[in-house]
């Protein structure tokens, strides 16, 4: 005969606070607000209607007109901002289209500011990779290496062009040494001290950038491992963020997000300014592909993904789900 087991009832029962949806909402430690979300948007020169991006279902390359509609919706939803990327018809070795006041990105900035005013923070990518025929983020030396300091001079010009177009915040993303200091000095010297900087501080040479290459029609061959960070290095990510704070960054960013949640937390603990994280194209595409195959609950996965990034310490999240997520988190 089996002996009766004497089970003592637990005194402490954490499950009590999980019993109903209302209880779970009341004690939730992490919240994601629409104002913490930034929508990255692509605008392509020379098209009259949006062009779908095959590797990023639901995301498009906008025309200038459709861009206006997209940012108006973002403003109505109460998003924190939009990050603009330009795709030119013509590229060259120095990425001159990014500096040209009549270039697609600078025109898009002016369009968006005219459309939404100060209802959204208008951000712009400050990098040459979309505009160079070799696809790198900087100017090349004769032997094909990215010339850090010559690239800094181009970034300073690009910052001034974006500021003249009316941007609120520039996003130097090329991972050149000293990029934040040069951009800050150029802006201040030209009377644009009000323009803020969201620094791509810890940007890793990630396999998850793949779909983005289609989104911006990248011309890159090879990789960017000589200037983007090694995925093995977390301490270095913190060091890069601290350097950017010293150089005048207003926000520091970790990119990608999901494979670098530990770096987001380390950076959040190390700096005293807001921390952003970019939920990138490959992270988006993985969820969309799995959901399309019926393998996961799409909406639940979106909410869980963005909540995890926020929980890791990100104050601001750049995500292609921003508009949809604003509605999901309101439920």
Q: What is the 3-state secondary structure (H, E, C) of the chain?
A: CCCCCCCCCCCCCHHHHHCCHHHHHHHCCCCCCHHHEEEEEEEECCCCCCEECCCCCCCEEECHHHHHHHHHHHHHCCCCEEEEEEECCCCECCCHHHCCCCCHHHHHHHHHHHHHCCCCEEEEEECCCCCECCCCCCCECCCCCECHHHHHHHHHHHHHHHHHHCCCEEEECCCCCCHHHHHHHHHHHCCCCCCEEEEEEEEECCHHHHHHHHHCCCCCCCCCCCCCECCCCCHHHHHHHHHHHHCCCCEEEEECCHHHHHHHHHHHHHCCCCEEEEECHHHHHHHHHHHHCCCCCHHHHHHHHHHHHHHHCCCEEEECCHHHHHHHHHC
142/138 Cα distance (integer angstroms): 13
Q: Which of 68, 91, 203, 225 is catalytic?
A: 203
* Residue carrying structure tokens 């950076």: 267
255 in active site: yes
Q: Which residues contact 73 (CB under 8 A, 6 or more apart)?
A: 323
- Tell me if 310 sits within 8 A of 317, measured CB to CB: yes
203 given a catalytic annotation:
yes
- Do residues 32 and 325 make contact, with C-beta atoms less than 8 angstroms apart? yes
Active site residues: 203, 255
């Amino acid at each position: 005969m089996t002996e009766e087991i004497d089970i003592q009832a637990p005194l402490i029962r954490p499950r009590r606070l999980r019993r109903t949806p209302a209880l779970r909402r009341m004690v939730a430690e992490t919240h994601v607000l629409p104002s913490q979300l930034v929508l990255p948007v692509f605008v392509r020169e020379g098209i009259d209607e949006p062009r779908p991006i095959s590797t990023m279902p639901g995301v498009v390359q906008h025309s200038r007109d459709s861009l206006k509609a997209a940012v108006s919706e973002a403003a109505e939803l109460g998003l924190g901002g939009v990050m603009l990327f330009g795709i030119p018809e013509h590229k060259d070795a120095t990425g001159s289209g990014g500096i040209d006041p009549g270039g697609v990105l600078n025109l898009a900035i002016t369009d968006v500011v005219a459309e939404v005013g100060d209802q959204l923070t208008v951000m712009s990518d400050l990098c040459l990779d979309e505009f160079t025929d070799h696809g790198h983020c900087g100017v090349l030396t004769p032997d094909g290496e990215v010339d850090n300091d010559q690239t800094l001079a181009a970034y300073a010009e690009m910052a001034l062009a974006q500021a003249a177009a009316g941007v609120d915040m520039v996003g130097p993303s090329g991972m050149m040494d000293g990029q934040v200091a040069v951009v800050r000095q150029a802006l201040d010297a030209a009377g644009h001290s009000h323009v803020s900087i969201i620094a791509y501080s810890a940007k890793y040479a990630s396999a998850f950038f793949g779909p983005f290459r289609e989104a911006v029609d990248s011309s890159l061959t090879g990789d960017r491992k000589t200037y983007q960070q090694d995925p093995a290095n977390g301490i270095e990510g913190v060091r890069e963020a601290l350097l950017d704070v010293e150089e005048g960054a207003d926000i520091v960013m970790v990119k990608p997000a999901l494979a670098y949640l530990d770096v987001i937390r380390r950076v959040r603990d190390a700096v005293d300014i807001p921390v952003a994280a970019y939920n990138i194209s490959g992270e988006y595409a993985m969820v969309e592909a799995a959901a399309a195959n019926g393998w996961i609950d799409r909406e639940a996965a979106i909410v869980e993904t963005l909540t995890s990034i926020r929980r890791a310490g990100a104050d601001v999240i750049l995500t292609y789900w921003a508009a949809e997520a604003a509605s999901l988190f309101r439920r």
